Amino acid sequence: MLVSAKDMLQKAKAGKYAVGQFNINNLEWTKAILLTAEELKSPVILGVSEGAGKYMCGYTTIVGMVKGMINELGITVPVALHLDHGSYEGAKKCIEAGFSSVMFDGSHYPIDENIAKTKELVATADALGISVEAEVGAIGGEEDGVVGNGEVADPDECKMIADLGVSMLAAGIGNIHGKYPENWAGLNFDVLAKISELCGDMPLVLHGGTGIPADMIQKAISLGVSKINVNTECQLAFADATRKYIEAGKDLQGKGFDPRKLLAPGFDAIKATVKEKMELFGSVGKA
Ligand code: 13P
The confidence score (pLDDT) of residue 51 equals: 98
DSSP letters for 256-278: TTSHHHHTHHHHHHHHHHHHHHH
Atom 5 of ligand 1, residue of closest alpha carbon = 208
Ligand 1: distance of its center to the CA of 254 in Å? 37
Dihedrals φ, ψ of 62, to 5°?
-65, -45
Write down the catalytic residue from 84, 126, 144, 268.
84
Residue 84 annotated to the active site: yes
Ligand 1 lining (C-beta closer than 6 Å): 23, 47, 84-85, 143, 177-178, 207-210, 229-233
Atom of ligand 1 nearest to the CA of 139: 8
- Closest C-alpha to ligand 1, atom 1: 208
Q: How confident is the model at residue 146 (pLDDT cuts 50, 70, 90)?
A: confident
DSSP 8-state class, residue 202: P
pLDDT in tens, 3-47: 999 999 999 999 999 999 999 999 999 999 999 999 999 999 999
How confident is the model over 90-115, as pLDDT tens digits? 999 999 999 999 999 999 999 999 99
What residues form DSSP beta bridges with 168? 133
Report the atom number in ligand 1 closest to the C-alpha of 143.
Answer: 2
Q: Can you tell me which atom of ligand 1 is nearest the CA of 179?
A: 3
Q: How far is the CA of 22 from the centre of ligand 1 (A)?
A: 8
Q: Is the pLDDT of residue 150 over 90?
A: no
CA 231 to centroid of ligand 1, rounded, Å: 5
253-276 burial string, b = 16+ CB within 10 Å, else e?
A: eeeeeeeeebbbbbbebbbebbbe
pLDDT digits (tens, 9 = 90+) for 71-96: 999 999 999 999 999 999 999 999 99
Ligand 1 atom with the shortest distance to the CA of 84: 10
Side chain identity at residue 253, one-letter code = Q
Pocket test for ligand 1, best of 50, 143, 146 (most atoms within 8 A of CB): 143
pLDDT at position 227 over 80: yes
Contact 40, 15 (CB under 8 A): no
For residue 177, give the ligand 1 atom closest to its CA: 3
What is the C-alpha separation between 272 and 71, in angstroms, rounded?
Answer: 23
Q: How far is the CA of 21 from the centre of ligand 1 (A)?
A: 9
CA of 209 to the centre of ligand 1 (A): 6
Q: Is the pLDDT of residue 139 over 90?
A: no
Tell me the CA distances in angstroms from 135 to 111, 183, 220, one per residue in order: 10, 25, 17
Q: Enter the pTM of the model.
A: 0.97
Nearest to 205 by CA among 112, 82, 90: 82
Å from CA of 143 to ligand 1 middle: 7
Q: Whose CA is nearest to atom 9 of ligand 1?
A: 229
